[in-house]
């Protein structure tokens, strides 16, 4: 944790004996005297954790890629099943044109198992 601007200014302007300061203040005084010390430490920390962050990011992208392929497969599968049900319905309607009344056609949606079964899907 970096010192506030006020604390940093006080440490920079301190001209007394360093032995009168506590160990934490002496450490911060030494850091404050180094130009851009906190930015350098942040860069060093970033360099230390960069490889771990890259590995985590690659793993996340691999997970997203697998999920994307799964979604693609199941959406294509759903489209194929919907087409099959629709074609089965049209085949039934073509073979037996008088067996369906208009009310039965209106109630034939393909959203539930029972209705899809009635529409000719196997």
Q: How far is CA 26 from CA 14, 44, 61, 71, in A?
A: 11, 22, 46, 59
Range of the domain at 38: 34-118
Q: Total domain count for the chain?
A: 1
* Tens-digit pLDDT profile for residues 7-17: 888 888 888 88
Q: Does 10 fall in a domain?
A: no
Q: Residue 24 falls within a domain, yes or no?
A: no
In a domain, 60, yes or no: yes
Per residue in 63-116, pLDDT tens?
989 888 888 888 877 778 777 777 777 676 666 555 555 555 555 554 444 444
Residue 7 lies in a domain: no
């Amino acid at each position: 944790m970096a010192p506030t601007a006020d604390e940093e200014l006080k440490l920079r302007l301190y001209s007394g004996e360093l032995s009168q300061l506590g160990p934490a203040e002496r450490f911060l005084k030494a850091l404050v005297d180094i130009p851009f010390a906190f930015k350098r430490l942040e860069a060093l920390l970033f360099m230390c954790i960069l490889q771990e962050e890259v590995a985590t990011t690659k793993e996340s992208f691999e997970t997203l890629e697998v999920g994307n392929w799964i979604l693609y497969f199941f959406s294509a599968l759903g489209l194929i099943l919907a087409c099959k049900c629709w074609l089965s319905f049209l085949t039934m309607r073509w073979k037996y044109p008088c067996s369906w009344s208009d009310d039965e056609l209106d109630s034939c949606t393909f959203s539930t198992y029972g209705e899809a079964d009635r529409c000719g899907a196997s």
